[in-house]
Structure 1
Amino acid sequence: MELRQLYYFVKVAKKEHVTQAAEELHVAQSAVSRQIHQLEEELGVQLFIQKGRNLQLTPVGQLFLKRAEVVLTDLERAVVEIHEFMDPEMGEIRLGFPHSLGIQLIPQVVSEFRKLHPNVRFKFKQGMYPSLIRDIVKGEIDLAFISPCPEGHEHVSGEILLTEELFAVLPPNHPLAGEHAIELQKLKDEEFVLFSDGYSLRPLVWKACLEAGFTPRIGFEGEETETIRGLVAAGMGVSLLPEMALYQTGPLQPAKVRVHSPQVTRTIGLIRRNTQKLPSVAKVFHKFLIDYFAERQN
C-alpha cells in the first residue's frame, strides 16, 4: 500500500468525484482511478459504488476513510514537528476560526505575531462551532478561536479571550438609525435577518429577543457576515452583529446602534485539544494570544 493511494482515496471520498479529485490533485483522472483500483485490489474490498455521476463510499469504505484520515493527519504532524525541532521559527500553525472573526480579528493578531516571528507559517480553516470543535478533537487544527467557549468538554479545553458587544444593525433609512442606543423591544415588529442553524450568533440573538419580550420574525437567513450585513443595508430587515463584523467600507452599509436593554454580548475563546501537547510553535502563539488580549482588557 502506497501513501499516494491514501491521499488519492481521501480526496476522492471528500469530493465524491474522480474528475474533481484529479483536478484538485493536479494529476490525470486515469492516474487517480488506477490508484483507487489498485488499493481496492490490495484490500480485497470495494471502497466506492457509483451513484449517478458521483461516487459514494461503501460501509467498509467509510470505515477505511476514518483510519486513513488519522494516518495522514499523524504523518502531517510528524513532518511539522521535525521541522519545528530543527527550527521552531520555521514551523506552521494550524488555526481555526468562525467566519465572523476573519474580517478583522484574525488578520490583526496574525499580523502582530508575524512581526515577532516572521518565518512562521499559518494554515487557516474556517468553520462553524461544531466543525471547529470536531477539527480540534481530530487533531486537524492546533488552536481555534470559538464563540462561545465550550465548558466541560471531554477532549477540548480553552479560555475566554474577550467579551464583545453586539449592536443592532438597521437599514440606513430606518427611523431608529440615528439613535445612539435603543431597547431591543423596539424591533419586535421588524423582520430579522439571522444566521442559519448551526451558527453560534443565531441562538444569541434569539435569546436576547426572548429576554426583550418577543419572538423574532425571520425574513431571511444567511451563512456569512457579509450576507447578513448586505441584506440589512438593502432594507431586507434588521439584525444584531458584533462590532468587529462591521468593519467594512463601501456604498451599501447598515446603520449601527447600541442596544442597552438587554445588553447583548458574546464571548470569544481559544481552544485546544487537552489530550495532546501543543507543537512548539503553536505553544508560542498560544502564549502570545493570551498576553495580547490580557493587555487590551486592562
Structure 2
Amino acid sequence: MVHQYSSQAHRSPSGDTEDIVALLAPRLAYFAGVARTEHVTRAAQEMQVPQSTLSRAMVRLEQDLGVDLFARRGRTVSLTPAGRTFLTSVERALAEIGKAADEVRADADPTTGKVAFGFLHTLGSETVPELIRAFRADHPRVRFSLVQNYGEAMLERLRAGELDLCLLTAPTLDAPDVVAHRLDVQKLRLVVPADHRLASRKRIRLAEAAEETFVTLEPGYGLRSITDAVCAEAGFRPKIAFEGEEAETLRGLVAAGLGVALLPPPAVPRPGVAELTVTAPKAVREIGVAWLDGRPDTPPVAAFKRFLLSRRGNLLPE
C-alpha cells in the first residue's frame, strides 16, 4: 500500500521526541484495540468510538510514523512485522499508564490514600509518632510516606511535589511561596556537661555562657539560625567547635565535654548532661505546619491538615 505523506510526517532521527510523542499518544489505545481484534468494526464497537474515527486515527498514526503497521483486507486487518514490534512497546506503555493511574487514584482515596509528610529530626522520636497514632484512630487505613530532614531541604521537596505537608520552624515557616500556620512553641535549654561549672544551676541568663564553646547544627538548619539569633540578642557570637546534623548527636557531644548547646527537650532524659532553663533572652522555637500555596489537596491530605490545625497549642508533648 502507498501513502501520501505530508511534510509533517517526514521526521529526521534528530527530530523532537516530545513532538512525536504528543502526536502518537492519543492514538496508542486505538492502535492496541485494533491490533487485538484485527477488525476495525469490532474494535470500534468495543471502544465505543465511530468506525470512521478509528480508521482515520490508524491512517494518521502510520503517516506520523512513516511505517505501515497493518495489512488491510476490507475491514479485517493484520499486523505487519513493524506493527508487531510497535504493539509490544505500546502495550507495555499503556500498562504503565494504567498502573500510574491506579496508583494516583489509590493515593487520593479518602479512606486508604497516602500523605507525604516531612518533619524535623527533633520531632521524629516522639511528636510525629504520637500525631500519626492519634490521627489514625479515626483514619486507620490512611498511609504515610515520612521524610525527616532540615527545613530548607523539606521546602525544596515541598516545591518539587514530593511532600504534601511538613512541620517546620521559623525562619523557614516564613518562605514566600508556602502557607504556614504556627502550631506550638518549644522552649530551648542550655545543655551543659554533667561536670560543668554551670551544671548545678536550674536557670541561666544566656550571656553567662558567652565564653563557652558551643556545638550546633550546620548552617541551613532552623535550630542553627535560632541559636545564632538568640546568642546575638544576648550580646555575643558563639564560638563553635562542632557542627552536626542531628540534635541528639549534639547532646552526645555535650555529654562528652566538647561544648554546650541550645537544644529542645529530649524525648528521654540523657545521662551525662544538665539542662538549664534560659531566662533571658527568650529562647524558643516556633513549630508550624506548611504546604505549598495553591496546590490542591487530596482527601487524605486535607483530613490530616485539618487534624494538625486542630492541635494548635497542643502539638508538642509536655
TM-score over 0.5 for the alignment?
yes
Q: In the alignment, what sits opposite 2:295?
A: 276
State which of 242, 267, 270 in structure 2 corresponds to 1:247.
Answer: 267
What does 1:61-76 correspond to in 2, within 5 Å? none
Q: Deviations over 1:151-209 (max 9, x none)?
A: 3613x112111111111111011122222211001111111001111111112111111
Q: In the alignment, what sits opposite 1:151?
A: 174
Q: In the alignment, what sits opposite 1:128?
A: 150
Which runs of 5 or more structure 2 residues have no equivalent in the other structure? 1-16, 18-96
TM-score (norm 2): 0.64
Q: Distance in 2 between matches of 1:204 and 1:268?
A: 12
Give the Å deviation of 1:150: 2.7
Which runs of 5 or more structure 1 residues have no equivalent in the other structure? 2-73
State which of 98, 113, 118 in structure 2 corresponds to 1:96.
Answer: 118
Q: In the alignment, what sits opposite 2:228?
A: 206
What does 1:1-80 correspond to in 2, within 5 Å? 79-80=102-103
The number of equivalent residue pairs is 220
Residues 195, 201 of structure 1: 8 Å contact kept:
yes
What is the SS of the residue equivalent to 2:111? helix
What is the SS of the residue equivalent to 1:168? strand
2:159 equivalent to 1:137: yes
What is the SS of the residue equivalent to 1:293? coil
Q: Which amino acid aligns with 1:276?
A: R
Q: In the alignment, what sits opposite 1:166?
A: 188
TM-score (norm 1): 0.68
2:277 equivalent to 1:258: yes
2:105 equivalent to 1:82: yes
2:136 equivalent to 1:117: no
2:283 equivalent to 1:267: no
Q: Which amino acid aligns with 1:282?
A: V
Q: Which has the higher Rg, Structure 1 or Structure 2?
A: 2
Residues 152, 220 of structure 2: 8 Å contact kept:
yes
Residues 192, 220 of structure 1: 8 Å contact kept:
yes
Q: In the alignment, what sits opposite 1:285?
A: 304
Q: Deviations over 1:112-154 (max 9, x none)?
A: 1122211111101122211111111111111011111533613
Query: Which segments of structure 1 move beyond 3 Å, counting only runs of 4 or more?
Result: 74-81, 294-297
Taking structure 1 as reference, are residues 134 and 99 closer, same or farther at Cα in structure 2, changes over 3 Å only? Answer: same
Q: Distance in 2 between matches of 1:222 and 1:283?
A: 35
Q: In the alignment, what sits opposite 1:227?
A: 249
Q: Which amino acid aligns with 2:311?
A: Y
- What percent of counterpart residues are identical? 34
